[in-house]
Structure 1
Amino acid sequence: MVSCLKNPHSKETRQSLLTFQAVTSLTDGQPTVGEIGTWVFNQESIMRTLVEMIIIDELPFRFEEGIGFRRFIAIACPRFIVSSSQSPRKLFARVGLRDVFSVTVDNASSNDTAMGFLKKKLVSWGSSTVREKYLHMRCIAHILNLVVQDGLKDCDSSVKKVREVVRYVRNSPARLKKFKDLADWLSIEQRSSLCLDVPTRWNSTYLMLQSALTYQKVFESLESDCSFKSNLGNSIPDFMDWKSVGSLVQLLKCFYDMTIRISDSLYVTSNTFFTGISDLYCLVKGMVEVGGAVGVMGKNMKTKFEKYWGDVEKMNLMIFFANILDPRDKLEYMPTQFNHMYGEEKGKPFYDKVVAALAELFDDYSTSASSTVSSVPSVPVSVQATSASSVSVGKPQHFLKSQIKKQRLESGGKKQTELDMYLSEGIVEEEEYFDILGWWKINSARFPVLSKLARDVLAIPISTVAS
């Protein structure tokens, strides 16, 4: 009866179907060459894949309820039951959140409330109160974007003129074709197309100015065109405007490269956060000292910089821990960097606070590690004088040493921890391509507890999925 095609329940059988299965995983969004195989409908398996898609593509839970998605599923896999968004959420709940180390989000005020709630939840589930201090990580790239954006909010007339001529050329297909033909005639290699910026995204302004500078000679040649001159009038940039834009592009390139460097997803970036912040401070300080239009930009940036990174008390100290746990840096440069950024009066207390907080976090990891290892009861050494065969040999020297250690600790002596040993060793010579996680893996036998802490700290992402 189950195999009968006229049986209404026969569609529920797990009969295999022919399909092309991927030989390897998807690469660059393109499916690889497949080989023929069999496929069996599985509601739960498809639901799990849907959850993976929501995570990878950073989609909202309500995506499953969309009309477009339901129409697509009705054609692609009619047997799949599209439920409400509660199903993916229940599947997420199975994963659990008890081992969350940090959550990186942007600087929206609603995230502060959400992180406060999550901290209380994790503590109630038994998470360490010490570690929960560092749960909320503000996105470094987002703050950098805000800093530079404040500097560009009062763009000078040169930037506005370049924006106008770019808009004029791009607004007409005929003008754009004429522009490209003129670029060919002037033998200008067209590495990038002419692009228009989005005022709220400073990096797009940088890319617009950079591409416009490539075609500076083309724009200058267009000045002889009557329609070009009549339509733009005083909005046409002159030699001094192009020079000003060129200087600005060189400056913005530093910020752009910094953003790319700390936003990469193919290698660890958390150990570079403090270096990036320090570099940003030097750039902003230099802009303020230059004066003029650049100085005004620098002052705006400095104000925003100090709002987020002007006080260590308001920062997540993981930024500094990750730098210390980089064996190429440790504590070699940090005191000088603190004094340079915050002055000697504030720099020294800030530095001491960071070192003390790292020691506290290491002690928390040590306590967790020791609690997982069952303690071995000590066996007292007993010596009986009745006969030689009845003497319990044991380890008298080991027992004696342990007693001496105990007395030394009670008298004020301090045992050297893994953290002390790590910091007392010299720094690793600078390497261009340094596998920091690989280094900690190799040295995990020497620093078992510290290596666990390092892997957790260094794995902090630059950003996370926004709900």
Structure 2
Amino acid sequence: MDVDAPPGFGAPGDPNPPPPSPGSANPNPLEPAAPIGLGASLPPLSPKQGGKDPSIVWQHFIKLAGSDPQNPRSQCKYYKNQYKCYGKKNGTSGMLQHMKVCKKWPFPRDDKQKTLSFQAKREGESGSNVLVVANYSEERIRLALARMIIIDELPFKFVERQGFQEFMKIVEPRFPIPHRTTIARACMKIYSSEVDILRRAFVGQRVCVTTDTWTSIQNLNYMVVTAHFIDGDWTYQKKILNFCPIANHKGDTIGRAVESCLLKWGIDRLFTITADNASSNDVAIDYVKKKTKERDSSILGGEFMHMRCCAHILNLIVQSGLKSIHESIAKVRNAVRYVRASPARFEKFQECVENEKIKAKCLLSLDVPTRWNSTYLMLDCALKFVRAFDRLEEEDGHYKLYFCELDGNGKKPIGPPNYLDWENVKTFVKFLGIFYEATLRFSGSLFVTSNTYFHELISIEDQLQQLCSVDGDPLLKSMAVEMKKKYDKYWGSVDNINLMLFVAIVLDPRYKLKYVKFWFREWYGKDKGDAMSSKVRDALKRLYVERVGQNGASSSSGSGASLSRDSMLSVGNASLSDRIKSYNNKFKQHLADEDSVESKSELDRYLLESSEDPDVEDFDILMWWKMNSSRYRVLSQIARDVLAIPVSTVASESAFSTGGRVLDSFRSSLSPNTVEALICTQNWLKDAKKKRPIKLRECMDNVEDMDGFEIDTGKYMFILFVVYINYLVICSMLTNHFILNGIVEIASVCPMPMEEDPSTVVLDDDE
């Protein structure tokens, strides 16, 4: 085993003796007349024909003469230790280890010697490089390696791969490459230490939770629990607490698993649980509500604990309107399917794009019909190539014939799209774009989302009302009517919505209660609107009263009572005139206090004070509350609780990036405890600055120009397949299902030049 020379053992610039020149010879091989440091620049050795270069150990060991040729031995030049050195059996590992601990090593070495180096800035950081002091530490390197394994989702056997080992020989030859079991233990050590840190963070912390369940293709049930909270520095935190197999998707089973997770982490103040609309989740949350109420660990008795996933409701609303698909959408889909069916057709289409001088970065993509968001993206992208499709119809005779041929069902595909169809598609794109953007905002997991719900509700309500009342395309109107029915079922009444979503907009200093009251009056009239806004204010007031009671006393009245008693004691021995004068002063102060808003509670003062400008760009609501927490000591604590509420369970799903990446061929071979440790620790260790919301539009726009690829047909279609799979994968984050029929459809057309089948476990949602 060849090992390169590490720095610090006779390397250039070190105080080690220089190596002997190539022509010098040592008459006594056991006497280190001209020693060679382990890190020195070695003299050139005459290479053996067809063999490897001699290991560096032979600069410090000699082969003993007279030893058995079948079992040769070597001896250290300095400490006289002997080692077996038969290449096929023993190698040089033992001698290398001895060189590190040799007591008579003649060259100075000090692993504690510190070095200065400039640490490069991370992406997105400002300022100059930082000067850091570092020293060699085997333990620190091992833990850093384990962190890399966790964060980058690498298998444990990565440390045994040739490329990594050769890399480490150059970077730090002194570091002994650990075995994969050693690195696995290091990963579990990091998990344990991070658990302790996070458990301490939960002490006295109110927490909101999202939970979701899946069924794998191996019929294994899994559940994930994610905690959401705003820490003491007013930073939004999302931490995966649990990823474990469960027996089934029954409500009691899920409820017990959630309760077990909360007890394990010592979370005794649970605010909300966000889940989708499955009936089993209703049972599960009722179970958790009952248990937390018994332990007095819920807020307001768990009245507002159940938070229904807004992204899931939005998906149900849109799907209800797309059941009877519009003919224009079907025509565009067939046109896109024709273009994407073969490389020759795609190349012809690209020629039409060039001839029409269309400058669009997006890649024409086929949708998954059961995913409305993919349909929106397909239509939005196709609109950029309308002129190219028209030219294709003029120049490609096969394009017209495609719509005259019978498909597998004996029917002709409808199409191609005409001018009226493209106009209809423009209307659809504008219509679906509202829901698409709302879904993306609901699905945010790195920022506050609870205060955005009310705005999305207003926008969706307004658009549906317009489409239902405007006479035009009867099919478009019927779609809007169906969607309005579903909308009214879930969001048509305040009684069907968790009031904390309205409290969140009240706690937004740009809007407050006046904004909610205004829109309630617009929707329901003055009397009903005022009654609804009173419900919202009452819910906020009850939160305030409960928090004041937990803090011991109101911040606005306690100090005043104490001063009054002190004043009474101070005037006890004063003269009559002085006492009367003192009483008059107190009466004047009483009148001033009575007319001042300072006498009111924090809640009243907050609602009476003027709002911030709602048109301010990049308004940071958490920073505002952080800066004003000294003025609103109690209300700011309530804001930390309410603003931390996630309105969607997508935060749980997005932690896995894709359904198939959670349990790939590596992780599916691990024990459930190890899988949970890796997934949770990766979520905790990833730098929050590196986490970015997934922007599907950018992912599609940044695909490289296919014209620059000079590859054969098989590889060309394989790249298209990979791009399409990535598209489906990202779309899968917006809802719970990873639709396989889209993959099967494109895979039947695209040959994949793969050497082996990377078996993965694809997780599907259980409805």
Please confirm whether the aligned pair reaches a TM-score higher than 0.5, indicating the same fold.
yes
Flag the 1:304–1:22 CA change in 2: closer, same or farther, 3 A.
farther
Give TM-score scaled by structure 1 length: 0.76
Flag the 1:71–1:303 CA change in 2: closer, same or farther, 3 A.
farther
Structure 2 residues without counterparts, runs of 5 or longer: 1-82, 84-92, 102-110, 165-177, 196-240, 242-260, 405-413, 656-767
Superposed, 1:7-406 pairs within 5 Å as: 23=119, 38-41=136-139, 69=155, 71-72=157-158, 78=180, 79-81=182-184, 91=195, 95-130=265-300, 132-224=302-394, 225-233=396-404, 234-265=414-445, 267-291=447-471, 292-343=474-525, 346-370=528-552, 381=569
Distance in 1 separating the partners of 2:282 and 2:314: 19
How far residue 141 of structure 1 moved from its aligned partner, in angstroms, is 2.8
Distance in 1 separating the partners of 2:334 and 2:444: 33
Tell me the secondary structure at the aligned position of residue 461 of structure 1.
coil
Tell me the secondary structure at the aligned position of residue 137 of structure 1.
strand
Tell me the secondary structure at the aligned position of residue 514 of structure 2.
coil
Q: Larger Cα Rg: Structure 1 or Structure 2?
A: 2
2:612 corresponds in structure 1 to: 428
Identity of aligned residues (%): 37
Distance in 1 separating the partners of 2:135 and 2:554: 46
Letter of the 2:425 partner, please give it.
V
In 2, are the aligned partners of 1:47 and 1:88 still within 8 Å (CA)? Answer: no
1:446 corresponds in structure 2 to: 631
Structure 1 residues without counterparts, runs of 5 or longer: 58-62, 409-414
How far residue 399 of structure 1 moved from its aligned partner, in angstroms, is 13
1:416 corresponds in structure 2 to: 600
In 2, are the aligned partners of 1:165 and 1:236 still within 8 Å (CA)? Answer: yes
In 2, are the aligned partners of 1:335 and 1:348 still within 8 Å (CA)? Answer: yes
Letter of the 2:278 partner, please give it.
A
2:646 corresponds in structure 1 to: 461
Question: Which is further off, 225-234 or 178-187?
Answer: 225-234
Distance in 1 separating the partners of 2:450 and 2:299: 22
Tell me the secondary structure at the aligned position of residue 403 of structure 2.
helix
Q: Which has the higher helix share?
A: 1
The size of the alignment, in residue pairs, is: 431
Distance in 1 separating the partners of 2:346 and 2:449: 40
Distance in 2 separating the partners of 1:286 and 1:156: 19
Tell me the secondary structure at the aligned position of residue 448 of structure 2.
coil
Give TM-score scaled by structure 2 length: 0.48
How far residue 49 of structure 1 moved from its aligned partner, in angstroms, is 5.4
In 2, are the aligned partners of 1:51 and 1:88 still within 8 Å (CA)? Answer: no
Partner deviation per Cα, 1:26-84 (whole Å, 9 max, x = no partner):
759xxx9999864545899689959985xxx9xxxxx9xxxx94655776851134699
How far residue 231 of structure 1 moved from its aligned partner, in angstroms, is 1.3
How far residue 384 of structure 1 moved from its aligned partner, in angstroms, is 8.2
In 1, are the aligned partners of 2:289 and 2:298 still within 8 Å (CA)? Answer: no
Distance in 1 separating the partners of 2:135 and 2:434: 52
How far residue 361 of structure 1 moved from its aligned partner, in angstroms, is 0.9
Flag the 1:73–1:102 CA change in 2: closer, same or farther, 3 A.
farther
Q: Which has the higher strand share?
A: 2
In 1, are the aligned partners of 2:309 and 2:647 still within 8 Å (CA)? Answer: yes
In 2, are the aligned partners of 1:310 and 1:342 still within 8 Å (CA)? Answer: no
Distance in 2 separating the partners of 1:322 and 1:342: 21
RMSD, aligned α-carbons? 4.6
How far residue 260 of structure 1 moved from its aligned partner, in angstroms, is 3.4
Partner deviation per Cα, 1:146-202 (whole Å, 9 max, x = no partner):
222222222211100100110111011111111111110111112211011122221
Tell me the secondary structure at the aligned position of residue 107 of structure 1.
coil
Tell me the secondary structure at the aligned position of residue 102 of structure 1.
strand
In 2, are the aligned partners of 1:43 and 1:81 still within 8 Å (CA)? Answer: no
Letter of the 1:359 partner, please give it.
K
Flag the 1:52–1:344 CA change in 2: closer, same or farther, 3 A.
farther
How far residue 265 of structure 1 moved from its aligned partner, in angstroms, is 4.9
1:412 corresponds in structure 2 to: none
Flag the 1:276–1:177 CA change in 2: closer, same or farther, 3 A.
same
In 1, are the aligned partners of 2:146 and 2:186 still within 8 Å (CA)? Answer: no
